[in-house]
A and B are shown apart, each in its own frame.
Chain A
């Protein structure tokens, strides 16, 4: 198989699922003729026609709102929101309807919808294009939140998301859309299992999305200093495979969570709470969080000031090691 980058792997998954199941439709702004602003849906219109690959009006609320109706009717809409920062007008549709349709109808209806959206900073994009608000969605009961960090995971997790009978937010780290190419490992993944991106015995680093690559860089540097970090790529933020994290922490006794989202109210707090609830007596040091500042993500000229880099991770690891 040819080597693919993350965005091509997304395209591959869409293609494969549309071939497998004629009820899968792709919809969003610029997903048809243009093939998506990042080219994630390139070639789909030509292959599957305009009934199944739909260029919609510029209308986020109605894109997600109509997808809910489609899903209830029996289709599997895969919606693209062009950037996570543009999803906010549709939050009511996501929270009040998509996420609770199964609950409120006692299973009479459900919402097998996937919302794909690029997210995160580091791509020198204009204002409102670099948001990392995953914690807002993890907080919503009734929706799953997935973040791949490798091309293989992007392909395999998107396929699993499309096959999942409940709504899934599929966050695509735009910063690493084209960062790595690899031969796609075909795996049937559950929307749950975390991945050990690097094994180590001294400290557990927990991250997801583009920050996995920052974290791995830090781990390599630490290794040169004799510190072996275990890096866990959560891949699925809800439901979270916390047991995998706990097993690692029981081994290392130390944990650092790395995310680019703002610190306060971020998932780092949730993960730290779970670790202390489940593994307090294994801990040699308090769990540390490396995160963005509690500021809106700055425009490109200052975004690297905001985004955690390997140095911040190394510093945090040294703190937990010397506690």
Chain B
């Protein structure tokens, strides 16, 4: 008997705004001029934050920091697509989305300075703190989506992670469950081509990461991650589908980590400078700028103005961060359980006695 096809699959690729700044809005509708300006200004703010964080780290005023340079389109686009009532589960290279969610920038500096108060997400935000162990937060997002489904809440959940996370079991187990129960969750993989020194080709032999969705029976799509219009439209569509009972989506945003892994890393040890140069031409900010120029939305004075206002905002935040009093050491004993256990009370008491002796 001849072999028959048991199934046939394909993965679509989305690009709305190309490298020359030319947009084709036929897929998701036109992005208004006002929206374009807002997107650009947020991207500039994110990049300004990022540059400031790197500088502070070099000056010894901040701890290890993971730069988002190059991923601003994916992050600002995705952040914009989220509704306030939605939930978001971040990885550790997600400052752009944090900023869009309204996380006080001071909180971000606190976290990267090694202050656990930087993980205390404000009550009005349905977001988890940063997850450092790669990919381990993906099941949490699925659980929240599951709980929303059980309670009948019309919310969607977004979880962000990198290409490296897709090699972890947590990713596969979580996506599988989202498929089985048709849960309202969007998996946004920011494929930035590098997991510290390990290239994307060492994570998987699959030509796309998006196609992993097919194996789990959920929607999968690839988008140009340096195209903010495309990312915004794709993520928004997936979140809407999730909220409306259409199940989960895996989105692969193809982007590039233009900086080192973190301030503790030196990417020149393992990465070709030509590769970085090639991606600089695809810079997500440059592309929007070109679009704005073509559409008479950009001028040198506008650029100066938004850079100056971003710097001013960040400078104020840095001041606020550096003036934050140090954390209360007793907090380490008091947040383990709702009610302190007898051994913790005893340890706290002994600690206080020692402090008293000093």
Binding site for B on A (CB under 8 A): 25, 51-52, 56-57, 59, 61-62, 64-75, 77, 89, 92-93, 96-97, 102-110, 141-142, 144, 165-166, 192, 238-240, 243
Contact = CB atoms under 8 A, between A and B. Distances in A.
Interface stretch (B53-61, B139-147, B255-263, B350-358): B139-147
Contacts of B166: none
A165 B121 CA distance: 19
B298 interface: no
Residue in B120, B123, B140, B331 with the greatest tally of chain A CB atoms within 10 Å: B140
B121 A65 contact: no
Contact of A239 (B151, B170, B174, B342): B342
Given A68-B139, A102-B336, A142-B336, A62 B128 contact: no
B299 interface: no
Contact of B343 (A61, A66, A239): A239
Contacts of A62: 139, 142, 170, 173-174, 176-177
B335 A96 contact: no
B335 A102 contact: yes
Nearest to A62: B173
Interface residues of B, number: 44
Contacts of B128: 72, 109
Contact of A74 (B122, B131, B151, B169): B151
A166 B338 contact: yes
A51 B150 contact: yes
B140 A97 contact: yes
Contacts of A92: 133, 136, 170
A25 to B, nearest CB: 7
A65 B119 contact: no
Interface of B: 87, 89, 116-117, 119-123, 128-129, 131, 133, 136-148, 150-151, 169-170, 173-174, 176-177, 180, 331-332, 335-338, 341-343
B121 A108 contact: yes
A59 B143 CA distance: 13
A186 B170 CA distance: 40
Residue in B143, B151, B177, B331 with the greatest tally of chain A CB atoms within 10 Å: B143
Given A66-B146, A106-B335, A192-B342, A57 B123 contact: no
Contacts of B138: 65
B274 to A, nearest CB: 38
Nearest to B132: A96
B337 A105 contact: no
Nearest to B157: A69
A102 B337 contact: yes
B142 A106 contact: no
A243 B271 CA distance: 60
Contacts of B173: 57, 59, 61-62, 65
Residue in A70, A102, A141 with the greatest tally of chain B CB atoms within 10 Å: A70
A104 B337 contact: no
Contacts of A51: 150
Contacts of B170: 61-62, 65, 92-93
Residue in A56, A65, A239 with the greatest tally of chain B CB atoms within 10 Å: A65
Given A102-B335, A102-B338, A69 B120 contact: no
B336 A73 contact: no
Contacts of A142: 336-337
A137 to B, nearest CB: 14
Contacts of B338: 102, 110, 165-166
A142 B341 CA distance: 10
B140 A68 contact: yes
A51 B177 CA distance: 14
A96 B136 contact: yes
A49 to B, nearest CB: 10
Contacts of A67: 143
B343 A104 contact: no
Given A66-B143, A96-B133, A61 B150 contact: no
Nearest to B87: A73
B121 A105 contact: yes
Contacts of B174: 62, 65-66
24 contacts: A51-B150, A62-B142, A62-B170, A66-B140, A66-B142, A69-B142, A69-B145, A73-B143, A73-B151, A74-B147, A75-B147, A75-B150, A89-B169, A97-B136, A97-B137, A102-B336, A104-B116, A104-B129, A107-B120, A107-B335, A108-B129, A109-B128, A142-B337, A192-B341
Nearest to B138: A65
